Every structure is written in C-alpha cells, then in structure tokens.
C-alpha cells in the first residue's frame, strides 16, 4: 500500500466513546483528523476511545454540568462546502444566544438560502459541539432538531435561554 493510500485509510479510522447525559446516551466518534459525529444513540461502543474522543467526552460532561460554554476539540465532519459554511456560522453562535435560519443565511452571505440553511442545520453530525440547537424560527418557535424538540428545548433552557419568548429576545442580531 502506498503511503498516500495508507494515510487516507488511517485518517478514516474511527474511534468511539459514549456517555450518559440528562437527555440520553451520547456517542462521540472521531478520526485521526477530528470529531466526525456526536449523536444521541442507545448502546455502548466497542473498544476504547481515543484521547480525542475522551477529551470531547470530558468537555461534554463539563457542558452538562454547567461548567463549559465552548468546545476546543478539532472537528472533521464531512459535508458540502455550503454545509461547512453553515456549520462554521453555527460555531460562532455564543452559548445562550439563539439565531434564526435567516440570521444564519445572512451571516454566510446567502440571504435567500434560508431553506438550504435549514437543511444543512438538520444534517449537522456534531450535536451540541456544533450548536444547531441554537437555531430557532424567526418568530421564536422551536423548529426541527435531529435529537427531538424536547432535547432542543432542554439544551436551550440549560444555556439560559428559558422560555420561547426569552429565546426570541435572545436572537443574535444581524452583523
């Protein structure tokens, strides 16, 4: 096997770990490049987590304990250029602040791509760490979340967004 092929195979090797949260079991997967998935899933992964997965699990535990508001682990989620731009914009949303899909579309300089932003948001494979739960409807309503709306509401309340009316008031102003 050539070095280039071996490098690509090594980059795709995934390690996993899981933790219990107030919202259910949360799995974290990573390649050599960074986190590839953070999802709510039942069961337990086989094998030992890598140092990166362990670090992410520790940071997530701190988040759920109210001791962490940002994450500093490398990310390696696969997605289109558009999805990557949406996910990067989501990472800029501060803890406890919400934004509408339109806010995100404007932030990435695609103001007419509101539905596409919603689709990219829904395909985010890195729950909580890429905070797609902070995106709400323009009227302050809770809208889709892959982990379920009850989890989304819990996460927003955990971050101090509170009621739906308070969530709407916390919407990120346009830059």
Active site members: 132
Phi, psi of 48, rounded to the nearest 5 degrees: -95, 140
| Relative orientation angle of helices 81-91 and 114-122, to the nearest 10 degrees | 80
The number of angstroms, rounded, from the C-alpha of 161 to the middle of its chain's C-alpha atoms is 17
Q: Residue 33 and residue 12: Cα distance in Å, rounded?
A: 8
Cβ(35)–Cβ(129) under 8 Å?
yes
């Amino acid at each position: 096997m050539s070095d280039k092929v071996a490098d690509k195979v090594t980059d795709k090797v995934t390690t996993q770990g899981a933790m219990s949260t107030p919202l259910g079991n949360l799995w974290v997967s990573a390649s050599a490049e960074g986190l590839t998935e953070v999802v709510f899933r039942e069961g337990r992964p086989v094998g030992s987590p890598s140092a990166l997965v362990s670090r992410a699990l520790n940071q997530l535990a701190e988040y759920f304990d109210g001791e962490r508001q940002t994450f500093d682990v490398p990310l390696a989620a696969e997605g289109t250029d558009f999805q990557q731009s949406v996910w990067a914009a989501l990472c800029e949303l501060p803890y406890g602040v919400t934004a509408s899909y339109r806010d995100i579309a404007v932030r990435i300089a695609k103001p007419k791509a509101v539905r596409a932003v919603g689709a990219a948001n829904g395909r985010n494979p890195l729950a909580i760490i890429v905070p797609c739960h902070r995106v709400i409807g323009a009227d302050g309503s809770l809208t889709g979340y892959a982990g379920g709306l009850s989890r989304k509401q819990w996460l927003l309340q955990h971050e101090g967004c509170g009621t739906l009316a308070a969530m709407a008031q916390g919407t990120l102003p346009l830059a």
